[in-house]
Amino acid sequence: MKNTTNIVRTICEIGIFAALGFVFDELQGAIFGSIFPSGGSIGFAMIAVLIVAFRRGGVAGILTGLIMGLFDIATKAYVIHPAQVLLDYVLPYAVVGLVGFLKPLFDKSNKKLEKILWLISGAVIGGLLKFLCHYFAGVFFWGDPEYFAWGLNDMNVYLYCFVYNIAFVGPSIVITGALLVTAFVTYPRLLTDKPFAEQNRSDKKAVLPVILSSIIAAAGLFLFIFFFVRWVGSFYYKESSQKYYFDQDSMVIYVIGIFLMALGAVCLVSYYKNRFNYVVMSSVLAVVTVTSLIYGIAKLILVYVEKELDPLTYWIWFIVSFVGVLGSIAFLVISIINKKKKAAVEQSAI
């Protein structure tokens, strides 16, 4: 009986919040539609999906987003291809619901600050996944420079799609995250169906690992999305050599992004299993940045030998990688020192 009641409540919440999200989406479209002539708008419709996701989990969040997408198709869809319908209408809000799979970690957090960080992370992750759908739709189906907005007709299609979509997704992430945190602070039960009780104030469990891990994962996600699309679009066939060529730099960067995403995700899971290790995180980060630095040096040498490419790009690559190496090594040394101090204190206490 209890399970049946929970299922009915979940279904009702999905329907209610999907309807609210659709209303929010229509309102923000009416307000900002003239600013974004190719579609998209600044607003907080994502909050409806995120509330269900954090209350009821990933499946409920995805269903809420799918219903919102179906409402969009029924009222304002502009169809040129089935895949375009998926990317423009069906998936954008549905993928936001994937944040619901973070619900166990959100529920496990007993400190208010930790829960707030998870809410912010959810808004960022959900917004970036939504951005990814719109970005791919723009690249594959709306890449004709003749129809670029804001007089950007001469801009590269990959850069234009990034600029156009981040112009409304970026502010939407900020607004949604702020409203989500405000809702939690003023009425915590909106974000969870369980009572909230903060742990004893003496609990000093650090939130720095969560912040660092989230930053690493978000940076990796951005690098992967942006440069993977550039890599796919860079393929061309050279008849003289009868071979396909592609942008090697984009491939290297998106592979680095994959490693950073994996590192951030593993660190987050490790933290909530009480196995987080600063030494391991900084060691892997050092390896990734050193690899990037070596590649940058090799490219600089090649540029000055062949004198065909612009060296500025690779000098920037070198400087960023060098700073990353210094930072990760310094962090590694500090982590090792702190670990030894902690071990010495524990040993003396015994």
d(CA 82, CA 45): 24
d(CA 251, CA 320): 18
pLDDT band at 201 (very low <50, low <70, confident <90, very high): very low
Please tell me what DSSP assigns to residue 199. Answer: P
- For residue 246, give the amino acid letter: F
Domains of the chain are 1-197 (1.10.1760.20)
d(CA 49, CA 29): 17
Q: Is 109 left (phi over 0), alpha (psi -120 to 50) or beta?
A: beta
- CB-based contact 196:204 (threshold 8 Å): no
d(CA 260, CA 238): 33
What are the pLDDT digits (tens) for 123-176? 999 999 999 999 998 888 887 888 788 788 888 888 888 889 998 898 899 999
What residues pair up with 245 in beta bridges, in sequence order? 236
Compute CA distances 281 → 138, 263, 284, 346, whole Å: 36, 7, 5, 23
d(CA 88, CA 72): 10
Is the model's pLDDT at 266 over the cut of 80? yes
Please tell me the predicted confidence (pLDDT) of residue 261: 86
What are the pLDDT digits (tens) for 290-341? 888 888 888 888 888 877 667 788 888 888 888 888 888 888 888 888 777 7
CB-based contacts of 158-165 (< 8 A; 24+ apart in sequence): 158/226, 158/229, 158/230, 158/233, 161/135, 162/135, 162/226, 164/36, 164/38, 164/40, 164/138, 165/40, 165/131, 165/134, 165/135, 165/138
Please tell me the predicted confidence (pLDDT) of residue 198: 42
